[in-house]
């Protein structure tokens, strides 16, 4: 996974440099970014297929590919934070989760601009590059910072979501919206945010992040408090001290 991500990141960084140049051109950047997205995904798939022939795939661009080994599946987002990438904002990541019989057993989130590679394997802890991570120890919600993402207007859950934001804002030290769900979860694992919640999210946005948070000692549920994050597209992740409190603020009605 690491080799695949590092290899794909080299092209991504070159393309990001190009986006920064294109910002000032009238041609715009959208087509260029879609092709960077596709190229990165293709390369990740190629490398992972070489390493583990037969595993299936679920990819943001390419959709589902059933493998000959039906127990294992890679869940891939080639650029999580596409809008940031498109605008030349250096906050995006490659996200790869590995699922075995429906359970995420390994995850990697790589922020190539800052060379921050977050990785976790079930039972083995979470690491940022070589450093072991632990969720933050803050217990007081009024001293805590939370990340979220905002579902587009007209999309499922937009109105409902807007009700949750003031609740968390009023209770906490701040809410952030940085635009990359996988990095939001990696930051929870690293103890930078105390928690993160979002609705209307896809499996490839959060698959890797789930195991990063868990292996760093945090909790992850859906917005009803259950374990159907990938199918329901809702997620509440936080340190062990504050998950219950965050969940109570943003719980599904």
Q: How far apart are the first and last CA of the chain?
A: 38
15 lines the binding site for ligand IPD (CB under 6 A): no
The CB-of-235 to ligand IPD minimum distance in angstroms stands at: 10
Whose Cβ is closer to ligand IPD: residue 114's or residue 139's? Answer: 114
The CB-of-62 to Ca ion minimum distance in angstroms stands at: 14
CB 177 within 8 A of CB 147: yes
Q: Which of 15, 37, 41, 60 is catalytic?
A: 60
112 lines the binding site for ligand IPD (CB under 6 A): no
- DSSP letter assigned to residue 179: S
Q: How far apart are CA 214 and CA 123, in angstroms?
A: 10
The 3-state DSSP class for residue 171 equals helix
201 lines the binding site for ligand IPD (CB under 6 A): yes
For β-strands 145-148 and 195-199, DSSP reports them as parallel
Whose Cβ is closer to ligand IPD: residue 80's or residue 194's? Answer: 80
Range in contact with ligand IPD (rule: CB under 6 A) among 20-28, 41-49, 112-120, 173-181: 173-181
Q: How far apart are CA 76 and CA 41, in angstroms?
A: 8
Binding flags for Ca ion, 183-222, as an x/- string (CB under 5 A): ----------------------x-----------------
- Pick from 16, 33, 74, 77 the residue near ligand IPD by CB under 6 A: 77
Q: Which of 15, 80, 184, 215 is catalytic?
A: 80
Q: Which of 41, 77, 184, 215 is catalytic?
A: 77
- DSSP letter assigned to residue 98: E
Annotate 31-55 with DSSP letters as a single string.
HHHHHHHHHHHHHHHHHHHHHSTTE
Q: How buried is 70 (Cβ within 10 angstroms: 0-12 exposed, 13-18 middle, 19+ buried)?
A: exposed
- Assess whether 116 carries a catalytic annotation: no
Interacting residues with ligand IPD (CB under 6 A): 77, 80-83, 149, 179-181, 198, 201, 205
């Amino acid at each position: 996974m690491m080799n695949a991500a590092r290899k794909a990141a080299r092209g991504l960084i070159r393309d990001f440099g190009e986006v920064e140049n294109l910002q000032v051109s009238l041609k715009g950047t959208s087509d260029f970014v879609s092709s960077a997205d596709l190229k990165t995904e293709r390369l990740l798939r190629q490398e992972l297929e070489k390493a583990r022939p037969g595993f299936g795939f679920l990819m943001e661009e390419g959709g589902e590919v059933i493998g000959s080994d039906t127990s294992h599946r890679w869940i891939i987002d080639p650029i999580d934070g596409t809008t940031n990438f498109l605008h030349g904002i250096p906050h995006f990541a490659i996200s790869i989760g590995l699922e075995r019989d429906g359970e995420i057993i390994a995850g990697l989130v790589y922020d190539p601009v800052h060379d921050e590679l977050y990785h976790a394997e079930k039972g083995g802890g979470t690491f940022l590059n070589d450093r072991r991570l632990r969720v933050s120890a803050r217990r007081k919600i009024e001293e805590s910072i939370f990340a979220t993402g905002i579902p587009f207007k007209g999309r499922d859950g937009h109105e409902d979501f807007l009700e949750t934001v003031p609740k968390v804002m009023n209770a906490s030290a701040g809410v952030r919206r940085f635009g990359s769900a996988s990095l939001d979860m990696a930051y929870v694992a690293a103890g930078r945010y105390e928690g993160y919640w979002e609705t209307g999210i896809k499996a490839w946005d959060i698959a890797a992040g789930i195991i990063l948070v868990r292996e760093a000692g945090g909790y992850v549920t859906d917005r009803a408090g259950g374990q159907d994050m990938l199918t329901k597209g809702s997620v509440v992740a936080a340190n062990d001290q504050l998950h219950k409190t965050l969940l109570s603020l943003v719980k599904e009605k």
